[in-house]
Structure 1
Amino acid sequence: MTNSTSALKLLVFSLLCLFYGHSAAQDNKGWELKRQSDGLNVYVRDAANSDVKEIKIETTLDASLHAVVAVLKDVPVYEEWIYKCQEAYRLKPAEDKASLYYCRVDFPWPMSDRDFIAQSRLRQDPETRMVYIDVKGKPDQKEQTEDVVRIRNLDIHYELTPVSNSKTQMSYRLHSDPGGAIPTWLVNMVVDNGPVNTVKGMREMLKSEKYQNAKFAFLK
């Protein structure tokens, strides 16, 4: 390997460290602890370009990294654990590290139900084994029906850190605007309710032998 090649690789590595280090620092700014209960630390902060608060939940799950990823990849069973999820299915065949799916969320009468289309992408740090899953709203990937309100702004981020073969630390960030005529102050009042119940639902799903025994070749 020539000196110039080594220098170029070192420069690229340094720039990546600078970029991702700066991004991580930005991600950790402005969070306010809202509550601690049932092993969950729940935080909120102001979101950029939106009056709806962003939420973050941190917890340790009694499951392996592979088990947690297995639950998150199993779109057809989202109805069983994601809070108020009424219907969920893939819009494209499943891939190891990506998924495009549809989800309909039950809203109380007289409000209309909401739905969203999401694209998820998974990556893993080969050194730390940490898994990052980014979920972005893709509202125009499926025709909207008249009886629901399409959620157009959706941003979810998971950070999964393996603690042991049977424990995984999870950081779950969510920002979503339900749209429609719901006052922002009301949305912010209950902004953590759905995510908290979703994480509790995930805990229950992780008890299943189906997930406890999951193994993926693409994960270290």
Structure 2
Amino acid sequence: MKMLRGMVMAGVLGLLLGGAAQAEDWQLAKDENGIKVYLSSVPGSKYKAYRGVAEIKADVQAINALQEDVPGSCAWIHACAEMKLLKHEGDDVWTYSRIDMPWPVTGRDLVLHVSTEKSADGSIVRHLKAEPGYIPEAKGEIRVPRLVGEWRMTPKGQGVTEVIYQVQTEPGGSIPSWLANSFVVDAPFNTLNALRDKAEKGL
């Protein structure tokens, strides 16, 4: 019944300042603690796309269970202030999230449509897409107008799963360059690091 809810949320954070669909020429930006973060310029956007890659010593179902815990997923998603489920329909879910931003930058919120595909080999792909008009805008927040991305979980054998988190987004409003530059690295790295920690500890 839960399906993709949590990852759905995971997507949301990463969503803030990333790029994937039209990204090309990925460049390694960080390689630390078994996690690699790649960045790419996106045609027509001033915000870089990001892709995080990590291997987690847990099977796909264990990771999936963590992702389906929508409110709980906020604990491992970078800069997450709130996550909640709006609607669940088959393999599709709609979620709402609020993202903390450092003062004096206005906080962002995001309505995300997540659709899940499961393959015979046990892999799971979650497609992420912002739907900013799904619910009325919240006072005091800037609604993220565009986001496209995916979570891809592929079993590698012996209880190991490769997790790829990739996002392209326009965060709306004005974002200082220093924050944009740090967020596209911190969001995938910190999210994958925290997800791996929980999955491997069985929490």
In structure 2, the CA distance between the partners of 1:27 and 1:149, relative to structure 1 (3 Å rule), is closer
Equivalent residue pairs, number: 183
Q: Is the 8 A contact 1:34 1:43 kept in 2?
A: yes
Separation in structure 2 between the aligned mates of residue 32 and residue 85 of structure 1, nearest angstrom: 26
Higher share in helix: 1
Normalised TM-score (structure 1): 0.76
What is the aligned-residue identity percentage?
A: 27
Aligned match for 1:112, one of 106, 113, 128:
106
Correspondence for 2:197: 204
Residue 28 (structure 1) shift: 8.5
Q: Is the 8 A contact 1:88 1:104 kept in 2?
A: yes
Q: Is the 8 A contact 2:23 2:41 kept in 1?
A: no
Task: Give a deviation string over 1:20-48, Cα, whole Å, max 9, x none.
Answer: xxxxxx98841111121010111111123
1:179-194 aligned at under 5 Å gives the runs 179-184=172-177, 186-194=179-187
1:72-87 aligned at under 5 Å gives the runs 72-87=67-82
Where relative contact order (Cα < 8 A, 6+ residues apart) is larger, the structure is 2
Any gaps of 5 or more consecutive residues in structure 2?
1-20
Residue 97 (structure 1) shift: 2.4
Correspondence for 1:57: 52
Separation in structure 2 between the aligned mates of residue 57 and residue 182 of structure 1, nearest angstrom: 22
Q: Is the 8 A contact 1:61 1:170 kept in 2?
A: yes
Separation in structure 2 between the aligned mates of residue 134 and residue 180 of structure 1, nearest angstrom: 25
Separation in structure 2 between the aligned mates of residue 110 and residue 28 of structure 1, nearest angstrom: 30
Separation in structure 2 between the aligned mates of residue 149 and residue 28 of structure 1, nearest angstrom: 24
Residue 123 (structure 1) shift: 0.6
Task: Give a deviation string over 1:135-183, Cα, whole Å, max 9, x none.
Answer: 1101111111221111111122112110125210111101222222224
Runs of 4+ in 1 over 6 A off after TM superposition: none
Separation in structure 2 between the aligned mates of residue 147 and residue 85 of structure 1, nearest angstrom: 16
CA-atom RMSD in angstroms: 2.1
Any gaps of 5 or more consecutive residues in structure 1?
1-25, 211-220
Aligned match for 1:70, one of 60, 65, 70:
65
Matched, 1:176 2:155: no
Separation in structure 2 between the aligned mates of residue 153 and residue 177 of structure 1, nearest angstrom: 5
Correspondence for 2:17: none
The residue identity in structure 2 corresponding to 1:153 is R
The residue identity in structure 2 corresponding to 1:100 is W
Residue 98 (structure 1) shift: 2.0
Separation in structure 1 between the aligned mates of residue 61 and residue 89 of structure 2, nearest angstrom: 15
Separation in structure 1 between the aligned mates of residue 184 and residue 128 of structure 2, nearest angstrom: 18
Q: Is the 8 A contact 1:51 1:184 kept in 2?
A: no
Q: Report SS of the residue matched to 2:63.
A: helix
For the pair shown, which has the larger CA radius of gyration, 1 or 2?
A: 1
Separation in structure 2 between the aligned mates of residue 189 and residue 90 of structure 1, nearest angstrom: 28
Separation in structure 1 between the aligned mates of residue 132 and residue 116 of structure 2, nearest angstrom: 20
Separation in structure 2 between the aligned mates of residue 177 and residue 185 of structure 1, nearest angstrom: 16
